[in-house]
Structure 1
Amino acid sequence: MITNQAGPLIGIMAARKANGSIAGNGPLFIALQKKLISLEGISFVFTPEEADNDFITGYTFSPDNNHWVKGTFRYPDLVYNRIPFRKSEQNEQCQHFFSILKEKNIPFFNPCFIDKYVLYELLKNHPFLQTFLPQTILIQQKKDLFVFLKKYKSIYLKPAQSSKGKGIFRLRLMETSKIQLVGINQHGIYKTFDYFWEKSAKELLEKNYLAQEEIKSAEYEGNRFDFRILAHGDAEEYILTGVGIRQSQEQEITTHIPSGGRLLPYELLQSKDHDHFIQAIIPYIGKVLSERFGYFGEFSIDAGVSNTGQYYIYEVNSKPMSFDELQIEEGKIEQLCRLFLQLSNYQN
């Protein structure tokens, strides 16, 4: 059995792809292992299916040999949840493993993916955070969506359980009562709302879509931009790790880089008001998430500012994607390893 050194043993929980290989952010796992070794700790990647009652089979990265080594490990001092698929996280084996961790009093974070509408309801009940939310409804009935569209004229449709801008559409009510639908790779005109509903209702209801008012975003050089904010837990608090700017380019539906968005340095648009908004929302979001779901050691926030200067929180992500900004990624490794030491009761 492989054991750790003087520092903590960290288990990084992942999932398997259909072909049997382990899915997850390999570069992140390797960077964490290298940093942990410098702190006299060690990490291993595993899936819940490979956990026995007394030991876990997993893989640890050897920087000296530049490859992964399979081994048997004792239960770790802490588990970092990086399962990349919602279905894998919700399956029986994964939920059983979480219960084992609780029985053994082994701390773990981040407990789950976040449903977009559950998040909206959670933030809406917070006296401070509610002031930054675009109006949003869960699409359950044809009439409710039509009334919402008539009120705001232009709205976004988002699946409650998606990420990276997948499945997002903009719906506009035109003066002729026609409906314009625009997605990342599609464009359509429907002669009436009834016709749109007839064609789209099945998908909207099955995938638990929500509707959100379109915010007229502030622009830089003619295109809208959003903030991508990364935060981590620190003792009893939550602190900012980094901020990036994402700007739309070829299409206005999303600013995500895989969908054609552009990266800008935060310093280019930084202001005292932006800084104040970002610093103000992080502790509250971290606290409400942890109180509702279990401890969140990290999260990212998609936020923005309107052309009238009003700030908005669009989404909060429990499994932050990699940031293209090198300094933010480096900060993430530092903050995560510091958090590993804190939560596993090892002092750096």
Structure 2
Amino acid sequence: MVSSCDQGEDIAPIVDLNKPTMTITADAAVTVDEGAIIPVTFTLSAPVGEEFRVYIMLEQSSTANGLDSDVKEAYQNNAFQKTIKIPPFVTTFTTFIEIKEDVDAEALEHLIVTIGDTRTTAVIFEPKTIDVSINNVVANALVLDFHFDKTFGVNGYSNTLCNIVSDPNVTGTADKYDIDFIVYDENGVAVNNPGATGAQTGACTESLTFKLADYADGRYDIYEYLYGNASLDLAGLTFPLLGLAQFDIPITVDYSRSGSINGVYTQESANFFNSNTPVDTENYVMSVVIATDANGVRTFTIQNGAGIVSATGKQVKKSGHINRRK
């Protein structure tokens, strides 16, 4: 007697009967702010004895790109696909789609992804597509990063402001080049809240965070203060920088406010330090003007000493919670 098995009709159903089913739970449509975390739960009817993977794919209809989100505990991420590893012997597993908060000012975006495809064969399941509407979020803080590093040299020798240290055999101490940044109010009084003093650390790039809640409306002037000059004013008199010509040291400022503004401000040339500037000198760098408009919305404005505006960003009030689309 001869028996046969039709592989196309018999084997697949037999194998599928031994596979657990998996249910994917996530809101099919949800509206969130940048920075939100969206849970995705995988529920199995029975555990699987080995780890398996589920793929999350960015759909072409998505107006948000893959860099606007990430997946917690994901594996081999890129902008178009995230890979989730489901551990062995579990019947439930939750991961999270994290919506990133960026510096760009954007209109409402839609992140459309499909969870699961035919590459996952350890369980029986239906893929799930979700549409996340992302509200742009404007942070109520302006971040300023101050840069002053510069390469200089003479006769084939070079160094940088971030690396130069004075020779203790000549000066008695090994001092580095150090510029701090001080915030003054309209009355010329130094502001001493923690955010205002954050750019006085001795780092080569100093940073300030202007939080709206910490400041009354008004103009705030930022000055550079030369705390240490690594005896740069004497460096041109000795080897290896003998003959070094005086050079300017401009300040550039990266400014960013999540969801609103970002760019680069350059100090006015008349206010540059130079390599011969003595310690304890202060020069003007820039101003930040905080104001409240007729609608009660507060704004940051970045401007130079002549009042020329580089950027303006408004406060935006946000809901701070997830809204399910009906």
TM-score (norm 1): 0.24
Which has the larger helix fraction?
A: 1
- Higher-Rg member (1/2): 2
Which has the larger strand fraction?
A: 2
